Structure 1
Amino acid sequence: MSAYPSRPSFSDIEIAPWNDIVGKQEALLAQQLQYLNAHSAFYKTKLADAKVDLSAIKRIRDLAQIPFTYKHELRSSLAAAPLLGLHQAASQSDIVQIQASSGTTGSPAYVGLTRSDRQAWSEMTARGLYACGVRAHDLVLHAFSMSKGFVGGIPMFQGVAHLGAIDIPIGADGGADRLLIAARDARPRCIVGTPNFLLYLASIAPNIIGMPATDLGVERLIVGGEPGGGNPAIRQAMETAWGAKCCEFMGGTDLGCVYWAESDDQSGMYFVGPDYIIAELIDPETGEPIAWCEGATGELVYTSLQRQASPVLRFRSGDHVQVTAMGGTGGRTTPAIRCFGRTDDMLIVRGVNIFPSAIQDVVSAMVPTVGGAVRVVADFEGHTTQSNLKLLVERANGQSEELDTQMARQVETRVRNALAVKVDVRMVSYGFFAAPGAQKVALTLRKMPDLTAASATGDR
């Protein structure tokens, strides 16, 4: 039951008039810029090299005078001054927590938190969880990885506690069996985890605990960390498998565990941290600002506010989004978005930009004709190819190999019609790809797996 049935949001800032929010952001921006100039060797140098006159940065629109910060710059900063880089802007004695990225491109990227930073992260996470339907005193089964310093681990736990809910910290690394046993014993109202892993848990529940996931009493699935939560087919599959409502959120190691989150209207993920982050929308090709309005698409750029230890300024996230609403039910006034891809994942196939998540959307919509699991095999240098894109698609459960040619042609046609890209599809056995677990599902493979093996990356 909701402890606050009449509260439309966790914080009043989420429902404040938009002009008031912008005014607060601009006041905090002036303070943040002065702080960076005084405490961050990285940004002091960067601003001086760009000849930025800080006194001229008074409005959010003035941020366009400041050069972007790119991920490779932060990696270089970290390498130049381990552990937290030249952009560390708080003394070591003030840092109380360090988190790490997944490190998919090499060494993990570390970010520091002061006590104030940690409070801000917990506050934003609590706002996001509240938007997604979590309430004080709810039991929340924690199915994100609890290890390796990922923000879905300890910071998510801290956000649940800040909200006043009760976290059951089994974690994906605790194993699917232990999570399902905990769900059977505790009957949590909410589960947090990645969409593919929660789907997998539901699929094995009868074998592990002798009952379907729909009998466990879960009411809310709160998902993030990988593509799929905003995919209608995957969402419907999760809601059917659990008999629960699914809401999506989004965050990132550099800025916080959660700062976009979906509410009951399911119009997209609302911005829940406008007093801690400025979010700009830009044209990913030109870098020019794009006005926030329903239907607009672009790349998200972030500037930290009130951040002490590892602040970022005009950080290009690589997240490509569509604005789905400007405010919503319950008095929400911030933008809502859906993320449809990342710059790092984008491939260019004969001149056409394509995101693997868009291919996943097409294939998952074909279930039960196919199994739904798909991998893009980008076995070429860089991100550009003049050849057809190779796809591996799992057969439907129990489907005969004799139908492979027919099914492959169907997938090829659907992808070509939807995305204007030619693909060569190879069908593989149901369960060929490893069952989802603590690691995020990688939709792109950089080399063709051994198709004669029982499984490419493990058995399901």
Structure 2
Amino acid sequence: MEYAMRYRRADAAARAGAPCWHPIEAAPLDEVRRVQERKLAAQMDYLEARSDFYRAKLADAGVRFGDIRTIDDLQRLPYTFKTEIRDSLAARAPFGLHQAAPLADIVQMQASSGTTGSPSYVALTEPDAEMWHEMSARCFFANGVRPGDMVLHSFSLAKGFVGGIPVLQALQYMGAIDVPIGADGGVDRLLRACADLRPRCMIGAPNFVLHLAERAPELVGFPASELGVRRVVVGGEPGGGIPAVRARIEALWGATCTEMLGGTDIGVAYWAECDDQSGMHMVAMDYIITELLDGESGRIIPFADGARGELVYTAIGRKASPLLRFRSGDHVEVLGTRCACGRTGPKIRCVGRTDDMLIVRGVNVFPSAIQSVVADLAPETNGVIRVVADFAGHTTQSPLKVIVEQGEGEPPAAAEALRQRIETRLRDALAFKAAVRVVPARTFPSPGAAKVSLTLRADPVLP
């Protein structure tokens, strides 16, 4: 049967009052598991027929495709690492040895941000692209966006990032109206569009939406809270799950702030926070099998309250760039397994990424955790930090250098007391010793189209 991708889902408007975008989000987990295992079996058959990459990988592991039929069977498979995907892309242009669909069937490609090396180039067939739209629509719906809403697009729209065109496509698919200015369009143009169009929703990186709010009085003449935005959806970098950062976003915009999480290799977004604001639900369980890897034991553990680990993904139903047991690098804490919204996917918050983790005298430290501790000291600090990792690799025996901006208008004379308080808080909360330097507000460049990197590899020369 000929396949035709839809620009807007035909029943989008009718879903506006539903409790979830798709019933699978609230389905009993035993029913979800049956769907997953049926699709897993089909995916393994597809890969056996189409994937040079996984035929070689499973042969090396001594595993037959036909042996993998249940979720428990997945643990017989080796992991797929980001480095393998980079090597695969280098070995065969344009989409790597793991490309499993003919080039003639590929209609779209996207690129990762490349913050940890060369970008990953991800291919999509038409069914793959609609799968991405569907997963993202579920996220935006959980986040509070509804069909008919106007949404100010404040992620970057350039460089092939998934926060750009795929987000625009997903919003159109779900019946919302994307205002496609993008962070690349600049703060002035974004705020002017916001003042002119009064969108109910806004999407963007948390640090950038804060910056927009701070500039609103200067550029449009009144506070961001008077611009009509009532829902701010954030993602793409740490911040949305940090209570003090979220509280500041909500106060400045006069809006509810919810968070989402995804990754280019698997999709745009597939974890999303509902109105309960108590963690991000997995909303795409019929497209992704998710495992939780305990870093200390190396074992897969249940999604139970309080569990911590790294997310491991297996895409089911994916054609062009499929992945089995992909180590995401996202380290999370499980905040709950039940929710008033009725969604049955576990709730998480992301505590950091493997690529960002530093080891300070044997203690694992994520820069986002440092940011969370510092943000709680507002208004003495504005929450802007940079971690200086001016040492080889990710391990140091010395105190970790942390630069912290004071709050706007705070007296320079208060810097020393603030420094001591932050060092004590970091030692008590995160069990490592920091060497904190306090600098004036606005020392670091204002957020823009690029993600904010909390880690610097050289000690900056500052005023």
TM-score by length of 1: 0.96
Are 2:198 and 1:198 equivalent residues in the alignment? no
Superposed CA deviations along residues 140-166 of structure 1, whole A, max 9, x for unmatched, are 000000000000000000110111000
Shift of 1:3: 6.4
Given candidates 439, 450, 453, the residue that maps to 1:442 is 453
1:327-346 aligned within 5 A: 327-346=338-357
Q: Distance in 1 between matches of 2:276 and 2:410?
A: 38
Superposed CA deviations along residues 279-330 of structure 1, whole A, max 9, x for unmatched, are 0111123431101222211110000110000011000001111111213223
2:34 alignment counterpart: 23
SS in 1 for 2:301: coil
Q: Distance in 2 between matches of 1:106 and 1:133?
A: 34
1:458 alignment counterpart: none
1:84-123 aligned within 5 A: 84-123=95-134
Q: Distance in 1 between matches of 2:288 and 2:202?
A: 27
1:247 alignment counterpart: 258
Given candidates 155, 160, 163, the residue that maps to 2:171 is 160
Kept in 1: contact 2:155–2:182 (CA 8 A): yes
Q: Distance in 2 between matches of 1:145 and 1:232?
A: 24
Q: Distance in 1 between matches of 2:16 and 2:130?
A: 25
Kept in 2: contact 1:229–1:247 (CA 8 A): yes
Q: Distance in 2 between matches of 1:295 and 1:398?
A: 39
Superposed CA deviations along residues 379-418 of structure 1, whole A, max 9, x for unmatched, are 0000000000001111121223232222211111111111
1:418 alignment counterpart: 429
- Give the residue type in structure 1 aligned to 2:126: R
Q: Distance in 1 between matches of 2:413 and 2:257?
A: 36
Change over 3 Å in CA distance of 1:331–1:402 after alignment to 2: closer
Given candidates 146, 158, 177, the residue that maps to 2:188 is 177
Kept in 2: contact 1:47–1:66 (CA 8 A): yes
Are 2:410 and 1:399 equivalent residues in the alignment? yes
Q: Distance in 1 between matches of 2:322 and 2:17?
A: 35
Unaligned 5+ runs, structure 2: 1-12
Given candidates 371, 375, 380, the residue that maps to 1:364 is 375
SS in 2 for 1:330: coil
Are 2:374 and 1:377 equivalent residues in the alignment? no
Q: Distance in 1 between matches of 2:93 and 2:116?
A: 17
- Give the residue type in structure 1 aligned to 2:421: Q
1:220 alignment counterpart: 231
Are 2:23 and 1:12 equivalent residues in the alignment? yes
Q: Distance in 2 between matches of 1:107 and 1:442?
A: 16
2:63 alignment counterpart: 52
- Give the residue type in structure 2 aligned to 1:110: Y
1:317-332 aligned within 5 A: 317-332=328-343
TM-score by length of 2: 0.96
- Give the residue type in structure 1 aligned to 2:225: T
Q: Distance in 1 between matches of 2:321 and 2:69?
A: 22
SS in 1 for 2:329: strand
Shift of 1:37: 1.4
Aligned residues: 451
Q: Distance in 1 between matches of 2:154 and 2:319?
A: 30
SS in 2 for 1:185: helix
More divergent stretch after superposition (322-331 vs 345-354): 322-331
Q: Distance in 2 between matches of 1:266 and 1:154?
A: 27
Kept in 2: contact 1:3–1:135 (CA 8 A): no
SS in 2 for 1:112: strand
1:76 alignment counterpart: 87
Q: Distance in 2 between matches of 1:290 and 1:147?
A: 38
1:313 alignment counterpart: 324
SS in 2 for 1:331: coil
SS in 2 for 1:230: coil
Kept in 2: contact 1:342–1:355 (CA 8 A): yes
Change over 3 Å in CA distance of 1:227–1:398 after alignment to 2: same
2:365 alignment counterpart: 354
Given candidates 203, 208, 221, the residue that maps to 2:219 is 208
Shift of 1:4: 4.6
SS in 2 for 1:246: strand
Are 2:279 and 1:268 equivalent residues in the alignment? yes
- Give the residue type in structure 1 aligned to 2:124: L
Q: Distance in 1 between matches of 2:286 and 2:137?
A: 14
Q: Distance in 1 between matches of 2:345 and 2:181?
A: 34
Kept in 2: contact 1:200–1:435 (CA 8 A): yes
More divergent stretch after superposition (310-319 vs 280-289): 280-289
Shift of 1:5: 5.8
SS in 2 for 1:344: coil
Q: Distance in 1 between matches of 2:113 and 2:94?
A: 16
Q: Distance in 2 between matches of 1:130 and 1:6?
A: 10
Q: Distance in 2 between matches of 1:298 and 1:407?
A: 33
Are 2:450 and 1:451 equivalent residues in the alignment? no
Kept in 2: contact 1:99–1:112 (CA 8 A): yes
Q: Percent identity?
A: 57
Q: Distance in 1 between matches of 2:281 and 2:117?
A: 32
- Give the residue type in structure 1 aligned to 2:445: A
